[in-house]
A and B are shown apart, each in its own frame.
Chain A
Amino acid sequence: MSPIIMISNLKKAYGIFTVLHGIDLDISEGEVVCVIGPSGSGKSTLIRCINRLEAFSDDSSIVVDGVTVGPGKALAKVRAEVGMVFQSFNLFPHLTVLKNVMLAPMRVRGTKPAEAERKARELLARVGIETQAEKYPGKLSGGQQQRVAIARALAMEPKVMLFDEPTSSLDPEMVGEVLDVMKTLAGTGVTMVVVTHEMGFARQVADRVIFMDGGRIIEQGTPTEIFDNPKEERTRSFLRAVLDH
């Protein structure tokens, strides 16, 4: 079976500053991949290229579920199948929690309102927010907002979920509730690519951990390989810095 995400020679530059130096990466269906690395290593840019929130060099190629990610019509198809959760939630503040989750299925998939609502309530229950459905996002805590954002992405029934530092802007006591939802999700067979600083989560949930630095993949392997027996000096020094304190 071919991988669900195939990235080859992914290059990205802002002017003269190169963010990604030709990344090659294949991700299998159902795989949970955690991308770790220092700030500015290009890990967020990498996953933002997968649904082309960032444009990338023309000689690069990303194929998601058989569809080439590029400008034009096919992009809508890719985006409908790739859910994304952002560091800053990005819920729609003028819509209730319920409407936030219902919007995309109705507009993109043409789901009927009653069906969209049933599905939305089911998803909100799954992330533990069903009692807040009629509230506006501004009334919710950060952790609750992020769980709504996960439900909103899941409402499109995506094959791939991208998480861009989903817990980085949360108060510490709310990190757990979001990670718990993500752990449950990881067990459902959806492909997940998670950029994170939560090493405990990566160790526990990831099938594969990727360490990036300076726009390159330095090392990748199982959590045990990366966390207990890193081969590269840069991986070792990064892990020492984040784990030993």
Chain B
Amino acid sequence: MNLLNTFFNIPILIDTFPLLLSGLLVTLEIGVTSIIAGLIGGLFLALVRLYGPGPTPFLAKIYIDIFRSIPLLVLLIVVYYALPFVGIRFSPFVSAVVALTLVSSAYTAEIFRAGIEAIPHGQFEASQALGLSPRHMMVDVILPQAIKIVIPPLTNNCINVLKDTALASVVAMPDLLKQATQAQALSANPTPLIGAALIYIALLWPLVSIVARLEKRFGREKRP
């Protein structure tokens, strides 16, 4: 059948599969690096925004607002194509990770802030009354409770970051999408694109269903 040969050409899929897998590896490298850096940056930003000295909470808020407003594709192109004009040159990999991390940090910061603010005030007061330092209060009392609350939205953010790695293909990063479009050009057949789409779904569907399950579970716990 013609349609099958065009979109699900098994021999072409088998031929290009190693290429797609190498692309998947790059996608995962960009994604995981950005997710981890974004978590660290986001937690830092959230703490500065809530408890930072002097004007730092305001600066953190400005950062968060800017990087939640800028389209990721625009940021990526600015980092890769515009910064070299001022002498800052990043490799495609670093460009992609920098852009994804800058944006992911902003979203993660808001998630952490919401999580910390959801902890009842009495937890802070009890910690202070016991003489715990601000650092111990955060590490031992507040964050363990806040992290439980923010796991579903954080997982959601991870999904978004992994999906957004596909944008790295515009800065010539050989990620899953880039490899698929190249394989498509070589074989003059769109099957590799379908293959890439299926790999994205296979990668992210489990995460999506985990989020759904977590949200249901935590939602139930809130109503004892």
Q: Which residues of A contact B (CB under 8 A)?
A: 51, 53, 76, 79-84, 86, 88-94, 103-104, 107-108, 138, 149, 152-153, 156, 162
Contacts and interface: CB of A to CB of B under 8 A. Distances in A.
A153 B129 CA distance: 9
A108 B125 contact: no
Given A90-B122, A94-B144, A104-B131, 7 more contacts: A76-B131, A82-B129, A86-B125, A90-B120, A90-B126, A91-B126, A108-B136
Contacts of A89: 122
Given A93-B145, A107-B136, A107-B140, A79 B125 contact: no
Nearest to A162: B129
Q: Is the interface of A mostly helix, strand, loop or mixed?
A: mixed
Contacts of A104: 130-132
Given A103-B140, A107-B140, A86 B132 contact: no
A90 B140 contact: no
Given A53-B125, A86-B126, A107-B140, A79 B131 contact: yes
3 interchain residue pairs of minimum CB distance: A80-B131, A90-B126, A90-B122
Nearest to A107: B136
A12 B145 CA distance: 32
A86 B129 CA distance: 10
B89 interface: no
B128 A53 contact: yes
B122 A108 contact: no
Given A86-B122, A88-B122, A94 B128 contact: no
Nearest to B123: A90
Q: Please tell me the size bucket of the interface on B.
A: 10 to 19
A226 to B, nearest CB: 28
Contacts of B209: none
Contacts of B136: 107-108
Contacts of A86: 122, 125-126, 129
A149 B126 CA distance: 9
Contact of A76 (B126, B133, B224): B133
Contact of A51 (B122, B129, B148, B224): B129
A196 to B, nearest CB: 18
A108 B131 CA distance: 7
Contacts of A53: 125, 128-129
A156 B130 contact: yes
Interface string B104-146: 0000000000000000101101101111110010001100110
12 contacts: A51-B128, A53-B129, A83-B129, A90-B125, A90-B126, A92-B141, A103-B140, A103-B141, A107-B140, A108-B132, A156-B131, A162-B129
A108 B130 contact: yes
Contacts of B132: 103-104, 107-108
A170 to B, nearest CB: 16
Contacts of B131: 76, 79-81, 104, 108, 156
Contacts of B144: 94
A121 B98 CA distance: 51
